[in-house]
Chains A and B, each alone.
Chain A
């Protein structure tokens, strides 16, 4: 039995649980992009395109769609790594059940993150399909936006899961969403280029993992890839994932093995 195989075992639990709700998540995965792309791409886009201020003469729909893709991944992954993690420790106690079997902390962390990555894969595939249907994928390179979206999701899910295993109550999750996730959604280049932000805020926006995800998805769907900056984006997101996982191993162990 390899260590790698042990880390796959918790996935079966999450899939068994997901089997009960997957239809609902698929429906929302299809409906959400249609609503957003219609509202921002067509609704707001017709106003924006009149001022024709976007780089390289692209339409607002083409600009905003990859941003929405990355931002949606951030939101779903952040949710999946907050309440469900605390619940598996405190309320449903699933992690405790897993720890009464051969599974180790590392398997529990990787198993849960693996499930979130799977959810990202489903969401990203459907979302990208919707963007293509709206005519906003300009290059076959756009397909690479799917793994990038998975990476964006895990880059958020890993550190948030670390916090979820550290905190005693769910009160802080609301604050994380209100003061971190939603501001990132609005100001990390999803809806407008971040060089329009006042000086300091622009620097802050560069530091957010979401901006790196948004810009990378945008380069890919527009087919306008700048290898150096793309590499920086990938490394930045991998760093968040790596540090997040290390913190999660620490906080899960500290919380569950006492």
Chain B
């Protein structure tokens, strides 16, 4: 083991990725500790995938320091990749082979013995609930099943860190929850997770700690709860108006003293306050009548909006 206790599994300082003129990752710093679930939250194009690819040793670092297991991705790619599990954004399963063959063939790339792989494939298929489909070809499987198989495959080498690039993008809500449940179990088993996502609920459910990325930069770091406390209020009041005529141009006269911040969006208006019910009651007393009022908890989406002025999913 090259990493001792307390030393981060992944260590980045001033990490830069350039594609010609474009700066995809702009001098980011982060550390991944053993046993934690760490997330990169940000919209498409924030530089999350580029960061993952550099860690996976399939994209050369343009500038800065990147150490994975205290090894250099430029020199020690073979050893680093032997200890990583990778769940890519786009599936790379072999559609012609069976579910089980996909795991065994992939395990052979790691040089694992066939006898070991047969047993491990059965355990992994059981873990992702695909045992019944073990002998079926991959092609007709649903998107959620394919993603579960990709996760099972990525665990075949018993990785020290599992890299998940947008693990539930493109899945329906039910399939997403099944994937989250499996990832949550892995986390409880002590597998170190590093994931990217543009779903704030995914980040809130799975990540112990996350960084918010925007345009290649890290704009905030902390646990989901810390980020919400630091950059948002406890609650949010969402106002919707039937048409632009009923929507005031200037909200300050309605909300002064009631809320701490107003965020007008094209389709709704967000009011940040620690007591949503009191604020909506106050608005009502002042005579503002929107089409609908919704009081909800603050989320990472609100954090992102506050930090960048933009939504996570555009």
Contacts and interface: CB of A to CB of B under 8 A. Distances in A.
Interface string B69-105: 0000000011101101010101111111100010001
Interface residues of A, number: 25
A100 B108 contact: no
A81 B154 CA distance: 28
Interface string A233-258: 00000000000000000000000111
A97 to B, nearest CB: 4
Contacts of A9: 108-109, 111
Contacts of B111: 1, 5-6, 9, 102
A168 interface: no
Contacts of B95: 92
Interface stretch (A10-18, A24-32, A35-43, A214-222): A10-18
Interface string A83-115: 000000000111011111111100000000000
Nearest to A1: B111
A104 B94 contact: no
A19 to B, nearest CB: 9
A17 B96 contact: yes
Interface residues of B, number: 30
Contact of A6 (B78, B106, B154): B78
A96 B91 CA distance: 10
Give the one of B60, B92, B106 with max A CB within 10 A. B92
B88 A101 contact: no
Contacts of B79: 102
B282 interface: no
Contact of A102 (B92, B94, B109): B109
B176 to A, nearest CB: 22
Interface string A201-228: 0000000000000000000000000000
A94 B90 CA distance: 11
B110 A93 contact: no
A256 B108 CA distance: 21
A258 B19 contact: yes
Interface in B50-81: 56, 58-60, 77-79, 81
Interface of A: 1, 5-6, 9-10, 12-13, 16-17, 20, 92-94, 96-104, 256-258
Interface of B: 19, 56, 58-60, 77-79, 81-82, 84, 86, 88, 90-97, 101, 105-106, 108-111, 154, 157
18 contacts: A6-B78, A6-B111, A9-B109, A16-B94, A17-B96, A92-B95, A96-B92, A97-B106, A98-B109, A99-B81, A100-B56, A100-B88, A101-B82, A101-B110, A101-B157, A103-B109, A104-B77, A257-B60
